[in-house]
Amino acid sequence: MSNESTEPSKQAQQHKRALEFMKSVNEAEFYNELKDKYVLSQKLLELNGFPMSRTTKNGYQGVYIATEHDRRFVAPSAELRNCLRCQKVFNVKEYSMENKEDHCVYHWGKKPAKREPKDKKKLNPQPSPYGDKYFCCGLPYESEGCSRLNYHVHNQIQRQSLVFEFKRTPTPQGPTDERSMKVYSLDCEMVYTTGGCEIARVVMVDWKGDLVFDRLCRPENEIVDHNTLFSGITKEMMAGVKMSLCDVKRLMFRYVNQNTILIGHSLEFDLRALKLVHHNIVDTSMVFHVSHRHSKHSLKALSKMFMGIRIQENGHCPVEDSMAALHLVYVKVDFERRKRLQKKE
């Protein structure tokens, strides 16, 4: 993370105050503050597509994702997928073809979505500073893609994985389980495989920002795109990685149980990729929402707006991203604390 300028901005000063305040509290106090005011409700978790658990009439513990997010799931026999990049429909059999003619041609600079807030009095999403051109290449929106890959990519998974592969974080081992009062900031990096979007790296920093967990993970399926620009994962990094997703989760559970608070940005995507159900979540995409759940700023934008810090300047780094999410929560907690103190005066 780097500061916006040599002159301390209002945002940078706000960030500095928050860091100083955090030195005066302990983890238990921080945990209780987050639990009381910032952990997402079950309703918000469901509305935002987090994996959720429920008990059926027969007593079976099941996992589900809200209906509006069902498009991510496909039947076991389905062969057609929607490419995330060029939006074409393609057949997964293409992954077994060595000399395929249909390549993925796309713009990696996404076209900003046109969204209107429900409440017209609230802030409208910022228009793109690039006007009607892609920021990746400066070409107009109707132009052919500037990037080309051999394979299409997707993030759709088979619905049966909800039954057989998604797991809940472990229950506490009694009242003295130290994991129960822990706070970690989590970030995962994904690659694209023949099976969809899979975890390649998992990082956690503790409540003070110290790195406590950093593991590379071998995807279950063959990698077709390391997504290096956005994941920071390279072919060289993944060479020889033997740890499976199950292995990584077993190690994670040494730190995390159902009561542990996990901080992150749009963590629904991380938890889906981890195939993990966890309900004690503080999500910066909703702590700093614009007007409703579909209007969310990126972690990069929030870091600049509220801390005067630029992140992801040299690609994505999960340690940097997890630190940024943690520090944003610092800023929010300190800001709200100051407001409460002012009201008492």
Q: What is the pTM of this model?
A: 0.87
**What is the structure's pLDDT at 126?**
44
At residue 272, the pLDDT reads 92
Using a pLDDT cut of 90, give the percent of the chain over it.
61
- Arithmetic mean of pLDDT, 211-226: 96
Residue pLDDT, tens place only, 306-315: 999 999 877 7
pLDDT tier at 288 (50, 70, 90 boundaries)? confident
Residue 93: Cβ-neighbour burial (10 angstroms; 0-12, 13-18, 19+): exposed
Bridging pattern class, strands 104-106 and 147-149: antiparallel
19 closest CA partner among 343, 341, 323: 323
pLDDT digits 0-9 by tens, 39-52: 999 999 998 989 99
Nearest Cα residue to 95 out of 241, 261, 222, 283: 222
pLDDT at 130 over 90: no
Residue 181's Cβ-side half-sphere holds a number of Cα atoms within 13 Å equal to 12
Q: What are the pLDDT digits (tens) for 76-98?
A: 788 999 999 999 999 998 888 87
Compute the 3-state secondary structure of the chain and give helix, strand, coil in percent, each to the nearest 5.
35, 20, 45
DSSP state of 24: T
Q: How confident is the model at residue 67 (pLDDT cuts 50, 70, 90)?
A: low
What's the whole-number mean pLDDT along residues 297-314? 88
Higher pLDDT, 107 or 9: 107
When mean pLDDT is compared across 141-150, 266-275, 329-338, the lowest value belongs to: 141-150
Taking residues 110-114, report their average pLDDT: 61
Residue 114: what pLDDT?
Answer: 52
Kindly tell me if the per-residue pLDDT of 125 is higher than 60.
no
Report the distance separating Cα 166 and Cα 149, nearest Å: 31
* 80 CB-near residues (< 8 Å, 6+ apart): 89, 90, 91, 92
Asked whether residue 277 carries a pLDDT value surpassing 50, the answer given is yes
Packing angle of the helix pair 27-37, 318-344 (nearest 10 deg): 80
Contacts of 18 (CB under 8 A, 6+ apart): 327, 330, 331, 333, 334, 335
Rounded CA-CA distance 120/341 in Å is: 31
CB 269 within 8 Å of CB 186:
no
Q: Give pLDDT, residue 121.
A: 39
Phi then psi for residue 198, to 5 deg, are -130, 155
* Percent of the chain predicted with pLDDT > 70: 83
Query: Confidence band (pLDDT; 50, 70, 90) for 131?
Result: low
N-to-C CA span, the chain: 36
pLDDT band at 123 (very low <50, low <70, confident <90, very high): very low
Q: CA 207, CA 239: separation in Å to the nearest integer? A: 32
Checking if the pLDDT of 122 tops 90, the result is: no
**What three-state secondary structure class fits 1?**
coil
Residue 112 or residue 139, greater confidence: 139
pLDDT of residue 71: 64
- The burial of 203, by beta-carbon neighbours within 10 Å (0-12 exposed, 13-18 middle, 19 or more buried), is given as buried
Q: What is the DSSP string of 76-92?
A: TT--EEE-TTT--EEEG
Q: Which amino acid is at 26?
A: N
Highest mean pLDDT among 123-127, 188-192, 314-318: 188-192
Which pLDDT value is given to residue 191? 96
d(C-alpha 236, C-alpha 220), whole Å? 18
pLDDT of 190 above 90: yes
